[in-house]
Amino acid sequence: ETGVTQSPTHLIKTRGQQVTLRCSSQSGHNTVSWYQQALGQGPQFIFQYYREEENGRGNFPPRFSGLQFPNYSSELNVNALELDDSALYLCASSLMSGQGDNEQFFGPGTRLTVL
């Protein structure tokens, strides 16, 4: 069973640039969620994709956007980067079956630094 993988591991960008982060979900999972973890904080929900459609969104502006592909892998795109976007970006996959609780499995994250 392959776990959740993310790329790249680290990334440095400058203010105003655009960035794309990638995530491969765990085998058999159909749902991908993205979280932002700022230094000293807990992960904050950005959005979730289920069967290639956005299924929910946290309190993040529209310059944060995403995609989910037919193989359930996903991208997070951030436009017009700001200094406060510097954080660890975590991807989590799960199998949403409508049965209630669903454990989410996290990747190792991408550390984004905006200068």
Partner 1 sequence: DQQVKQNSPSLSVQEGRISILNCDYTNSMFDYFLWYKKYPAEGPTFLISISSIKDKNEDGRFTVFLNKSAKHLSLHIVPSQPGDSAVYFCAAQRNYQTGANNLFFGTGTRLTVIP
Query: In the complex with partner 1, which residue's Cβ is closer, 43 or 74?
Result: 43
Measure the CA–CA gap between 5 and 72, rounded to whole angstroms.
Answer: 12
Which of 76, 109, 112, 114 is in the footprint of partner 1 by CB under 8 A?
A: 109
- Binders in 18-47 for partner 1, by CB under 8 A: 31, 33, 35, 40-45, 47
Q: Look-up: residue for tokens 């289920």?
A: 50
Q: Is 108 in the site for partner 1 (CB under 8 A)?
A: yes
Please compute, for residue 22, the number of CA atoms within 13 A of its CA located in the half-sphere on the CB side.
6
**x/- binding map, residues 68-107, to partner 1, per CB under 8 A?**
----------------------x-x-x-x-x-xxxxxxxx
Q: Could you tell me if 85 and 112 are in contact, meaning their C-beta atoms sit under 8 angstroms apart?
A: yes
